[in-house]
């Protein structure tokens, strides 16, 4: 089978290899782009009503946060000074009601926040998965499955807390800081200036710490992707079988240990980035209130001309003002610290957003053209034509995979493709199925260029049965329904009988509801092949592609599968790739390919008589038998 990828060596390959990396050690990570910020903000657009309610709640809660400190001032400077129990009850009542209201609003805000955050995460996952589904086959042949899984799981999961909590945390803390600073300024601008004097220095250092955190976060995600890919490869059924057969368990374990050790170091580094800095901030914020008390006391003591009273006041400061101010100040440092820490977290999160958007921005090479034609399946005749088709997996690097190929398969005909490995046989079927697009010439179905048809039309017209059958880790019934989800149980059983697999299925413990296992490993090769044929029969395509469908089977299984194939090919246009010429000698037309070109074409008898490449292949496979037409 010709398996190549268009992303491995070109611009796309370089893009993927650089994914998430911040640059060489010592180099600064790439900056947070404004476009990334805008794209993240757009994720919330469908939920703007809920977001607006959340923002309103956050503002109200922030304003409520300065109520109780101000009530303290009024209690000390007014209620106590006037010895008024009525005023004291009013102020205390407000202090009791305020946190109750704040708590209720906080619960509502948390609920809305969770709903919006998780729905945005759902949209982001679905957007990424949907885009991956639309990428061409070349992307998947050039990219490790574990890398793709890591983007979906680790990267999207890594921004979960940012989307769910960080956005509202920023707004919440900003409004709290703004409301608190406003309240502090009203009480004493001098003490406010003293409290905030060092803030610009902290902001500068925090930005630098955030840049380092973002770089480390990007490197961590790359390592997580490597680890996911390694686990996916070595712990799959095929991977573990290969490891055990060759006795490579120790090597695999050591390789995994190296990767997980690298990840551990990066995770520790990520956790420790800025710890000393934030420890210093915490200590400093704890000391500031003591300094404020000292300065406020000096202001209070210095303003008195005579004996002080518990309720003495000056134009500059009062005891109630000092108590209220320090209470507000203690509530200021927590949101400030949160904002500084969130800034670092956001830098790390944007490294993950960049990796996610990097995949979402990959171009969709195979898509419906504007005005693409849709043809109902029952109206398709199945005429296949190649006109001077030319294709290269990586243009400009080596010879074409397909070069100037032309042939026609009339409805109901069997056209066989033979030739050495790498000759371009499978590539031709990929072009017909529009897994890739030709770079020259045309591929047509019923006279329509496949690029002018909708993908749904092309996909609906075809079924492909390959040598390596893939079955999902699901029931046999669900695997059969892949080609036609709306088929009835009777239709499923009829297709299975035609493929000579029904009797074997009913012998299984749960019949059609038996789980096939990872990649169908609970079934033999012949059984999987016949299930694939039943799946194709159920779809009832007008065009059938058989890619080495029987080459790996034993004689008994091949006979069973061949009978099923005869049933499947009846009345359908069939392109069959085969190395064993015995399976294609009855073909209406045989094409002999080599290095992307058609060397010979004709029936079995015509090609034998010509004495060319096909005749030599026949002699190699049937040594000792007379070279003559057999069908």
pLDDT for the residue numbered 628? 47
**Is pLDDT of 19 > 60?**
no
Of 302, 330, 360, the residue at which a domain comes to its end is: 360
Exposure string for 171-198, b = 16+ CB within 10 A, e = fewer: bbbbbbbebbbebbeebbeebbebbbee
pLDDT for the residue numbered 4? 46
- The proportion of the chain whose per-residue pLDDT surpasses 90, expressed as a percent, equals 15
Sheet with 384-391, side-by-side order of all strands: 402-409, 384-391, 440-445, 448-449
Q: pLDDT band at residue 98, thresholds of 50, 70 and 90?
A: very high
Of 303, 327, 360, the residue at which a domain comes to its end is: 360
**Is pLDDT of 480 > 80?**
yes
**Is pLDDT of 361 > 60?**
yes
Q: Tens of pLDDT along 106-151?
A: 899 888 888 888 888 888 888 888 888 888 888 887 777 777 877 8
Same-domain status, 198 and 252: yes
Q: Is 387 exposed, middle or buried (0-12, 13-18, 19+ CB in 10 A)?
A: middle
Query: DSSP string covering 473-486, please?
Result: SSBHHHHHTTS-TT
**Is pLDDT of 219 > 80?**
no
Q: Tens of pLDDT along 601-613?
A: 999 999 998 988 8
Q: Could you tell me which residue, 178 or 209, shows the higher pLDDT?
A: 178
Same-domain status, 408 and 344: no
Nearest to 125 by CA among 319, 422, 285, 359: 359
Helix (H) or strand (E) holding 581: none
pLDDT for the residue numbered 278? 65
Here the tokens at position 437 are 């697009």
Q: Is residue 369 part of a domain?
A: no
Q: What angle do CA 446, 3, 457 make, to 5 degrees?
A: 25
Q: How far is residue 74's CA from residue 230's CA, in Å, rounded to a whole number? A: 66
pLDDT for the residue numbered 21? 40
Same-domain status, 196 and 274: yes
CATH number for the domain that contains residue 314: 1.20.1560.10
Same-domain status, 285 and 394: no
Q: How far is residue 439's CA from residue 243's CA, in Å, rounded to a whole number? A: 41
Other C-beta atoms lying within 10 Å of the C-beta of residue 89:
11
Same-domain status, 339 and 434: no
Q: Which residues face 143 on adjacent strands?
A: none
Nearest to 289 by CA among 254, 320, 327, 233: 327
Mean pLDDT of 172-188: 82
Q: What angle do CA 557, 559, 565 make, to 5 degrees?
A: 100
Q: Tens of pLDDT along 379-397?
A: 889 999 999 999 988 766 6
273 φ/ψ angles, rounded to the nearest 5 degrees: -60, 120
Q: Could you tell me which residue, 450 or 309, shows the higher pLDDT?
A: 450
Q: How far is residue 631's CA from residue 629's CA, in Å, rounded to a whole number? A: 6
Domains of the chain: total: 2
Q: Is residue 25 part of a domain?
A: no
Q: How far is residue 358 CA from its own chain's centroid?
A: 10
pLDDT for the residue numbered 213? 67
Q: Is residue 9 part of a domain?
A: no
Same-domain status, 129 and 96: yes
Q: Tens of pLDDT along 62-88?
A: 888 888 888 888 888 888 888 888 999
Of 327, 360, 393, the residue at which a domain comes to its end is: 360
pLDDT for the residue numbered 264? 84
Q: Is residue 14 part of a domain?
A: no
CATH number for the domain that contains residue 591: 3.40.50.300
Q: Is residue 109 part of a domain?
A: yes
Same-domain status, 490 and 417: yes
Q: Could you tell me which residue, 20 or 499, shows the higher pLDDT?
A: 499
Same-domain status, 354 and 402: no
Here the tokens at position 605 are 């008898």
- The proportion of the chain whose per-residue pLDDT surpasses 70, expressed as a percent, equals 78
pLDDT for the residue numbered 120? 85
Q: Is residue 10 part of a domain?
A: no
**Is pLDDT of 310 > 50?**
no
Q: Tens of pLDDT along 314-355?
A: 445 677 888 888 788 777 767 776 776 676 667 667 777 888
Same-domain status, 356 and 421: no
Helix (H) or strand (E) holding 610: helix 604-610
List Cβ neighbours of 49 (8 Å cut-off, separation of 6 or more): none
Q: Is residue 617 part of a domain?
A: yes
Q: Is residue 23 part of a domain?
A: no
Residue span of the structural domain in which 500 resides:
382-621
Here the tokens at position 538 are 């159920």
Same-domain status, 484 and 351: no
Nearest to 608 by CA among 386, 587, 569: 587
Q: Is 141 exposed, middle or buried (0-12, 13-18, 19+ CB in 10 A)?
A: middle
């Amino acid at each position: 089978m010709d398996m190549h990828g268009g992303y491995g060596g070109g611009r796309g390959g370089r893009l993927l290899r650089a994914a998430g990396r911040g640059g060489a050690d010592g180099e600064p990570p790439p900056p947070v782009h404004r476009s990334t910020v805008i794209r993240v903000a757009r994720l919330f657009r469908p939920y703007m009503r809920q977001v607006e309610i959340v923002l309103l709640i956050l503002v109200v809660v922030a304003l409520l946060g300065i109520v109780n400190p101000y009530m303290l001032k009024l209690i000390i400077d007014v209620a106590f000074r006037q010895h008024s129990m009525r005023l004291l009850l009013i102020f205390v009542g407000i202090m009791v009601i305020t946190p109750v209201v704040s708590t209720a609003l906080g619960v509502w805000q948390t609920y809305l926040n969770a709903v919006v955050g998780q729905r945005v995460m759902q949209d982001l996952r679905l957007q990424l998965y949907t885009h991956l589904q639309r990428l061409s086959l070349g992307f998947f042949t050039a990219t490790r499955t574990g890398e793709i899984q890591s983007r979906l799981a680790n990267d999207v999961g890594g921004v979960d807390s940012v989307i769910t909590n960080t956005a509202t945390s920023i707004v919440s803390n900003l409004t709290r800081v703004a409301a608190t600073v406003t309240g502090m300024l009203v009480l004493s601008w001098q003490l406010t200036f003293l409290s905030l004097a060092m803030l610009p220095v902290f902001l500068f250092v925090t930005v630098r710490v955030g840049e380092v955190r973002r770089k480390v976060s990007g490197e961590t995600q790359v390592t997580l992707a490597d680890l996911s890919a390694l686990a996916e490869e070595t712990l799959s059924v095929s991977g573990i079988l290969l490891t055990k057969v060759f006795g490579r368990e120790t090597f695999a374990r050591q390789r995994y240990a190296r990767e997980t050790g690298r990840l551990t170091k990066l995770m520790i580094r990520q956790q420790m980035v800025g710890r000393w800095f934030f420890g210093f901030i915490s200590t400093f914020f704890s000391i500031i209130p003591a300094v404020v008390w000292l300065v406020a006391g000096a202001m209070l003591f210095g303003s008195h001309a005579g004996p002080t009273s518990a309720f003495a006041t000056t134009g500059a400061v009062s005891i109630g003002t000092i108590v209220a101010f320090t209470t507000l100040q203690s509530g200021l440092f927590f949101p400030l610290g949160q904002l500084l820490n969130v800034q670092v977290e956001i830098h790390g999160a944007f490294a993950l957003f960049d990796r996610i958007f990097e995949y979402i921005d990959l171009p969709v090479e195979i898509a419906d053209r504007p005005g693409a034609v849709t043809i109902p399946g029952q109206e398709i005749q199945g005429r296949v034509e190649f006109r001077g088709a030319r294709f290269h997996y990586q243009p400009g690097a080596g010879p074409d995979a397909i070069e100037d190929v032309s042939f026609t398969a009339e409805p109901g005909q069997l056209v066989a493709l033979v030739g050495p490995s790498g000759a371009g046989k499978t590539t031709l079927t990929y072009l017909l199925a529009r897994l890739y697009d030709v770079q020259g010439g045309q591929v047509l179905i019923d006279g329509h260029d496949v690029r002018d048809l909708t993908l749904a039309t092309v996909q609906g017209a075809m079924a492909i049965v390959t040598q390596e059958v893939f079955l999902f880790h699901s029931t046999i019934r669900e695997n059969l329904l892949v080609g036609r989800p709306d088929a009835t149980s009777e239709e499923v059983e009829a297709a299975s009988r035609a493929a000579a697999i029904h009797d074997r299925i009913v012998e299984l413990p749960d019949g059609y509801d038996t789980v096939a296992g990872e990649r169908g490993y609970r079934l033999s090769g012949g059984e999987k092949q016949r299930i694939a044929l039943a799946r194709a029969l159920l779809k009832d395509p007008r065009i059938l592609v058989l890619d080495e469908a029987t080459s790996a089977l034993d004689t008994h299984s091949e006979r069973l599968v061949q009978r099923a194939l005869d049933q499947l090919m009846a009345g359908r246009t069939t392109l069959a790739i085969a190395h064993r010429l015995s399976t294609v000698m009855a073909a209406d037309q045989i094409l002999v390919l080599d290095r992307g070109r058609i060397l010979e074409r004709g029936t079995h008898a015509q090609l034998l008589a010509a004495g060319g490449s096909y005749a030599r292949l026949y002699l190699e496979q049937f040594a000792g038998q007379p070279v003559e037409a057999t069908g």
